[in-house]
Structure 1
């Protein structure tokens, strides 16, 4: 990883926010023009970080215009359980975070392996997906999101068989993502919301 320090086993190696973090567009750069991440300490999240990931997710969704509700909103407990379960199963899920001595976890990025049917160009059937890229607004423009995202991409490359990594970018985050090699796919993704307005299609029973 370019210039950053990585903690292991959830421990920081030394002392030491999609709000889709394009906000790191004004991050410091070294003499080569590359972002200077030499002082950024990234560690892999543990089950104990589930609450922090939910908190950052709420900040991200709120910045995107979603009403997230209060601390007792039902989605928060479900999201906390979802993160905790996946953080305990490390083969196909990873989150990386940056800690702040005053605020705790202030930035994160999440990587998930999605299972699809294998194809000629993807025998494993695994596709990677990046989500929850977010930095606390009090700690923006320090390169934290970039550092977390680079850690996620390194994890995909070194510890999984996923070789095509997807994400949903907001306009604010586009520059960061394209700088790290993301590009629009040949076949754009579409979606439909199943809200009951689509007439059901008759389905034949299974063959005996």
Structure 2
């Protein structure tokens, strides 16, 4: 079965923000009750940020599977992050896959795989050297099957 995937546009930002909110509810313990993630001003801010990013085709992209009537079944969104050339690569970007989500009623149909694969292909065509993402336990088998690994951990610092 072929899954129909399209590239999202700025007008899709509301649905993409809804799916981002949904992705943040992923449980800490696999296959248990979703976490409660409050709505609030951040959802509208997220929608505005997504719309702004998608207006520039050289900064970000989202690939989606539509569910009909202005609703999306699944999405994968990512950002191009500029990088300095090094001895191993002059490629201009790293890619950050920031959100992958499938509405619960559309899961187990290959939609996440289709949208992530489209996003990975776009990022590679844009000149990304490395793609990274944070995975829920449920998503890890998908990303492993697509070639992602934990062999290059990076340290991070969060501003408080």
Match of 1:115 in 2: 82
Match of 1:190 in 2: 155
TM-score, normalized by length of structure 1?
A: 0.69
1:174 aligned onto 2:132? no
- The 8 Å contact of residues 93 and 127 in structure 2, kept in 1 or not, is answered as yes
SS in 2 for 1:184: coil
Match of 2:32 in 1: none
State the 1:68 CA deviation: 2.9
- The 8 Å contact of residues 26 and 136 in structure 2, kept in 1 or not, is answered as no
- The 8 Å contact of residues 119 and 125 in structure 1, kept in 2 or not, is answered as no
Bigger radius of gyration, 1 or 2? Answer: 1
- Structure with bigger RCO (C-alpha 8 Å, 6+ apart): 1
Structure 1: which 5+ runs fail to align? Answer: 1-36, 196-208
Structure 2: which 5+ runs fail to align? Answer: 29-34
Alignment of 1:26-41 (within 5 A): 37-38=1-2, 40-41=3-4
Alignment of 1:70-109 (within 5 A): 70=39, 73-101=40-68, 104-109=71-76
More strand by share: 2
Aligned length: 154
Match of 1:63 in 2: 26
TM-score, normalized by length of structure 2?
A: 0.88
State the 1:132 CA deviation: 0.8
